[in-house]
Amino acid sequence: MDVKIAESWKTALQEEFDKPYFSQLVDFVKSEYLTKTIYPPGNFIFNAFDKCSFEDIKVVILGQDPYHGAGQANGLCFGVADGVAIPPSLRNIFKEINEDLGKPIPKSGNLERWATQGVLLINAVLTVEEAKPASHAKQGWETFTDAVIKKISNDCNNVVFMLWGKYAHDKGAVIDTTKHLVLKAPHPSPLAKGYNGCQHFSKANDYLKQVGKAEIDW
């Protein structure tokens, strides 16, 4: 199947795109976009992949589901476009960066600047119906993103995986910890406890420096 995705990813994932489950997933997603309000906009479904090439990955941040409110989801997990109110989880992430690295808290929740530095901001499920969280779960997206994580683990070296919350922890089970750094913390949602103080951003940069890669300007 020919999927509109960045060339480096098309090469890396072609085998996945050719599997029967992926064709079924595409049929499901297309019919949903035709009949309901679905986020993110169709051209942003693979935005995380388009903004961060396969060969450039330094860090993977794993979310669960796109935002399900109007104008929020843009295909980068936890991020929102310029001018959109910063959601609570992202506010906590920015607070952690401020405490961990001393960086000022941004006025915009646009995370493209992370993506273009090699941060893959990927949700486990890439689409969602308006006002219905997890409505596109168990349709094939999880199988696809499991394959993405496994591909990165197998074919890349010295990648930092930031896994926040039990769902992400479980999804990270396929990562080879002998060649990558896996950082785990509670989810940054204000409803969870214990995320702030995880120091993942300084730990990631320390590791990248150790392995001879440029640090991320968080």
Annotated catalytic sites, by residue?
65
Reference 163, options 71, 18, 63; nearest CA is: 63
102: left (phi over 0), alpha (psi -120 to 50) or beta: left
SS3 annotation, 85-129? CCCHHHHHHHHHHHHHHCCCCCCCCCCHHHHCCCEEEEECCCCEE
Whole-angstrom distance, CA of residue 175 vs CA of residue 160: 10
CB 216 within 8 A of CB 118: yes
- Distance, CA of 183 to CA of 98 (rounded, Å): 18
DSSP structure class, residue 216: P
